[in-house]
Amino acid sequence: MSRHALVVYNPTAGSASGADLWLGPVVHRLASRYTVTVLPTVPDMNPSDILHAIGKPIDLLVAAGGDGTLRYALGAVAEAKSDIPVGIIPLGTGNQLARNLMIYEENILSDPLDEALSIILDGVTMRMDLGIMNGQYFCICAGAGPLSDAILMPEQKDKVNWKMLAYASSVIQNFAMPPVMFKVTLDEENETFQVAASGLFVSNIADLGLGTLSETAELNDGLLDLCILNPSEFGDYLHMGFRFAGGFVGGEAPYYIRKVRSLTVEVVPSRAKLSRFQHIGHRIRSFFSGNNETRPPVAQQVIAMIDGDAFGETPMHIKVVPHAVNVLVPRQFATRLRSSGEAEAERLEAEAERLEAKAEAEKLEAEADAEAERLEVERKAKTISSDRAEAAESGADETTL
3.40.50.10140, 2.60.200.40, 1.10.1740.10, 3.40.50.150: CATH of 138-321? 2.60.200.40
| CB contact at 8 A, 227 and 143 | no
Q: Is the pLDDT higher at 83 or at 279?
A: 83
User: What burial letters (b/e) apply to 123-155, b meaning 16+ CB within 10 Å?
Assistant: beebebbbbbbeebbbbbbbbbbbbbbbbeebe
Q: Is the pLDDT higher at 320 or at 392?
A: 320
Q: Is the pLDDT higher at 287 or at 387?
A: 387
Q: What pLDDT sits at residue 42?
A: 84
Question: How far is residue 9's CA from residue 64's CA, in Å, rounded to a whole number?
Answer: 5
Distance of CA 195 to the CA centre of its chain: 18
pLDDT at 349 over 70: no
Q: What pLDDT sits at residue 346?
A: 58
Task: Specify the pTM.
Answer: 0.73
Q: What residues does each domain of the chain span?
A: 4-122, 138-321, 343-387
Encode pLDDT of 65-120 as tens digits: 988 899 999 999 999 899 999 999 999 877 889 988 999 887 767 788 999 999 99
Highest mean pLDDT among 115-124, 351-360, 387-396: 115-124
Reference 14, options 23, 4, 5, 6; nearest CA is: 23
Q: Is the pLDDT higher at 397 or at 315?
A: 315
Domains 4-122 and 138-321 fall in the same CATH topology: no
pLDDT at 291 over 60: yes
Q: What pLDDT sits at residue 282?
A: 66
Highest mean pLDDT among 127-131, 205-209, 219-223, 375-379: 127-131
The dihedral region occupied by 250, where left means phi > 0, alpha psi between -120 and 50, and beta the remainder, is left
Q: What pLDDT sits at residue 251?
A: 44
**Amino acid identity, position 36:** V
Average pLDDT, rounded, for the chain? 80
Reference 300, options 149, 180, 142; nearest CA is: 180
Q: Is the omega angle on the peptide bond into residue 315 within 30 degrees of 0, that is, cis?
A: yes
Q: What pLDDT sits at residue 118?
A: 96
287 band by pLDDT with thresholds 50, 70 and 90: low
Which backbone phi and psi does 193 adopt, to 5 degrees? -150, 160
Q: What pLDDT sits at residue 92?
A: 84
User: End-to-end alpha-carbon separation of the chain, Å?
Assistant: 120
What percent of the chain has pLDDT above 90?
36
| Contacting residues for 271 by C-beta, under 8 A, at least 6 apart | 295, 296, 298
pLDDT at 383 over 80: yes
pLDDT at 161 over 90: no
Beta bridge partners of 319: 132, 262
Alpha helices in 155-290 (DSSP H): 156-162, 167-173, 234-246, 276-289
CATH number, span 4-122: 3.40.50.10330
Question: How far is residue 153's CA from residue 169's CA, in Å, rounded to a whole number?
Answer: 9
For 341-386, list the strands marked E by DSSP. none
